[in-house]
Amino acid sequence: MPQLLHIDSSAELETSVSRTLTGLFAQTWREQGADHRVVRRDLHRAQLPHLPDAELHYAKRLRKPGSAPDARAEALQAELIAEVAASDVLVIGAPMYNWSLPSTLKAWIDYIHVLGTTVPFDEPNRPFSGKPVVIVSSRGNTYAPGSHNAGLDFTIPPLREVLGSSLGMQVSVVTAELTLAGRIPPMAPLAERASASLEQAENAVRELAIELGS
């Protein structure tokens, strides 16, 4: 039974572009067949506590002698890792917040990126290797190559590094840019480019959901 893990992190609950796009991905996934399950994790509505103990970054055998992270935090970490392990594909809504990730999404990353458990360290285990993950990033401005802000996107690069290079997942990225064109008057002339970016993102998430769900 193919399972999608649908993750959102936008703090905007009504007009969020990333939520709309991850929702479209999930809907297209469900349309692949009645057996296509979707598991939901909304990191804004149900926020994770910040990682409470640095030792949780290491598998038990790699922790400092005598360390004893809080049992509830350890259980939460195990639950989050098991949720990823049980899913065939992930879609993650990752809006740009202050050039970076929403802190709710960063907290999730801090729980699931664990040396010796999900990342090879002293042993070659890499349980999420090859698992497809689609990152859907919305941003008010443009960070496209050649634009004034090119090189200032610190949302997608860390996600590529952690999920792709380190965890070994197969990363695809969809961006919707200039989402503030309809809100900030001096950006009004960019409205057409914003619509084109959104349309391109909608097509890309539909195509990826079909490709990864079939």
Residue 114: Cβ-neighbour burial (10 angstroms; 0-12, 13-18, 19+): buried
Binding mask 173-212 for ligand FMN (x = CB under 6 A): ------xx--------------------------------
The answer to the question of residue 12 lying near ligand FMN (CB under 6 A) is yes
The answer to the question of residue 138 lying near ligand FMN (CB under 6 A) is yes
3-state helix, strand, coil in the chain (%, to 5): 40, 15, 45
Paired residues of 119 in beta bridges: 115
Task: Kindly indicate which of the ranges 10-18, 59-67, 78-86, 186-194 contains the residues binding ligand FMN, using the contact rule CB under 6 A.
Answer: 10-18
The answer to the question of residue 28 lying near ligand FMN (CB under 6 A) is no
Binding mask 75-104 for ligand FMN (x = CB under 6 A): --------------------xxxxx-----
d(CA 82, CA 186): 46
* CB-based contact 95:102 (threshold 8 Å): yes
Binding site for ligand FMN (CB under 6 A): 10, 12, 16-19, 95-99, 138-141, 179-180
